[in-house]
Amino acid sequence: MTESLEALEGRMAEYRTAISVATRRGDKVTARQLRAELRDIVQAYSRRLDELGALEEPEGPETDGPQTAPVPPPPAPRVKGAAVPIREQAHQALTILDAPAGPKLIAATHEAFLSEAVVTTRLGSLRRDEERSFAAQPFARPFYICPALSHDRFTPVRGLLAVSTWPLEQRIVGPLGPRADFLTHARRIGEQIARMQAAGHEPTLPAWALLRRFALNIPGAYEGYGTPDAARVIQAADAEAKVHADADTAARHAAAARAREVLTEPVRLLFGATRMGGVDEATAPAENQ
């Protein structure tokens, strides 16, 4: 029986919570196994999105006579209030990207793979709404859209959003975080396009444009003309990611360990230290050591 998107999202949330718990306990074997299982669930989630997109494609009329080129129907008017809520849009795009991202990338990803525009100006107020909701009733929702956190003071990183069910290490942006997350985005977009092709669906022009945008900034990923090869982009992104992996992982884990000691309130672990009452100078790491 095919699981619904809601069921898969719930399973992803459960697995990410379990991974976070196993990581804090130092149980690397369990954490590794859970991450492998989570990847399967994420892939199932992506396949389900593809299936739902395919079901919405109209079928052409069947005729026995000569066929003429079909005239594309005019776009159906959007029913007011029928669009996916903004927090669901952000969650869907971030699930594909699998790393903190800004409003423009979230919007471009959602349009490329889910064919629905995202009003980026609403994403800024969304984070504040999510924090108020969590403060009023903690963990009432399966997930929250929260900010990425800086590695030194654990304050929200301006313009970067994440998902609350991700491990803290994944939501922290360290010195190598921007490049590491860029490579994760590139790999995930390449994987999404590869899945669409394997399922017999032609990726949209926005999807190719998004992949090209990343490929142009990864050595060996793209020659700069024609359509990028998804497999080549994935391979090039993985190759560079390995160069940064050890240092980036160490920085994230060290910062996450400090954050769990300093940020004692659950709301602060998700939404960051306040700028007025944030991390004290005495607990902040010294720079240039």
Q: Which of 163, 134, 160 is nearest to 149 (CA)?
A: 160
Pairing of strands 172-173, 145-150: parallel
Whole-angstrom distance, CA of residue 24 vs CA of residue 20: 6
From first to last of its 289 residues, what are the pLDDT tens digits of the chain?
566 766 777 677 667 767 766 676 677 777 777 777 877 787 777 777 767 655 444 444 444 444 444 444 333 333 344 367 899 999 999 999 999 999 999 999 999 999 888 888 888 889 899 999 999 999 999 999 999 999 999 999 999 999 999 999 999 999 999 999 999 999 999 999 999 999 999 999 999 999 999 999 999 999 888 899 999 999 999 999 999 999 999 999 999 999 999 999 999 999 999 764 445 433 444 333 3
Give the per-residue pLDDT at 187: 97
d(CA 167, CA 35): 11
Question: Distance between CA atoms of 87 and 93, rounded to whole angstroms?
Answer: 10
pTM for this predicted structure: 0.69
